[in-house]
Amino acid sequence: MAADERDEELAGVLTAVGPRLRALRQQRGVTLAQLSETTGISLSTLSRLESGQRRPTLELLLPLAKAHRVPLDELVGAPETGDPRIRPRPFVRHGNTYIPLTRNLGGVQAYKLILPPLDGPPPERELRTHEGYEWLYVLSGRVRLLLGEHDLVLGPGEAAEFDTRVPHVFFNAGPQTAEFLSMFGPQGERIHVRAKPTARPQEGNPA
């Protein structure tokens, strides 16, 4: 791997730390003030870490990993030592964290997306179009999807499927972190859901 590629990979890992720290803290229901008291890290430093304005260092990450009760390598998204599996690195786009779940360059690609909570009005983002077909399933929080003339808010357990040639954009619709799974077929592949057929009643036993 070339030096430029290593630098780019490292930058991507460090950029994803902030949203991960925020998501962990909010999942545990801990405020920045409480975390500051537990770790001894100043409130302003914690806030800058979560927003990506402060570069994470080992001295900062060690007490945070202890406070959140997670291994350090999980906090930064590093692969386990000696693990031969290739794990795609998270990356951040428009403030949202993308965690690739597939490695294939063609066919259906899967991602887990983490959307930070909104501190104010929704961001100004243009609706976009591209070739393909997308399916998303909300795991937690609320996701707002602008799709053509439709303005939808999806909650946990709700899903949407649409042609990406229709103008669309999504963002967090609430004050809590939102997470959802996304499956995208660049050639327009749709998601096929196969339901298990209902077992036929045995002879003599009414349905």
Beta bridge partners of 114: 97, 179
Rounded to an integer, what is the distance from CA 96 to the centroid of its chain?
7
The 8-class DSSP code of residue 195 comes to P
Question: Burial code of 144-177, b = ≥16 C-beta within 10 A, e = fewer?
Answer: bbbbeeeeeebeeeeebebebeeebebbbbeebb
pLDDT number for residue 199 = 58
pLDDT number for residue 139 = 93
Crossing angle for the helix pair 32-39 and 43-51, nearest 10 degrees?
A: 120
Structure tokens at 38: 């537990």
- The answer to whether 98 touches 170, Cβ cutoff 8 Å, is no
Q: Report the C-alpha gap between 48 and 70 in whole angstroms.
A: 21
Angle at 155 between CA 17 and CA 192, to 5 degrees: 95
* Mean pLDDT in order along the chain per 10 residues (207 residues): 49 71 82 91 90 84 84 63 55 82 71 84 79 90 92 93 90 90 75 58 53
pLDDT number for residue 60 = 87
pTM of the entire structure? Answer: 0.53
- The answer to whether 35 touches 63, Cβ cutoff 8 Å, is no
Count of positions (residues) in the chain = 207
pLDDT number for residue 125 = 74
- The answer to whether 168 touches 153, Cβ cutoff 8 Å, is no
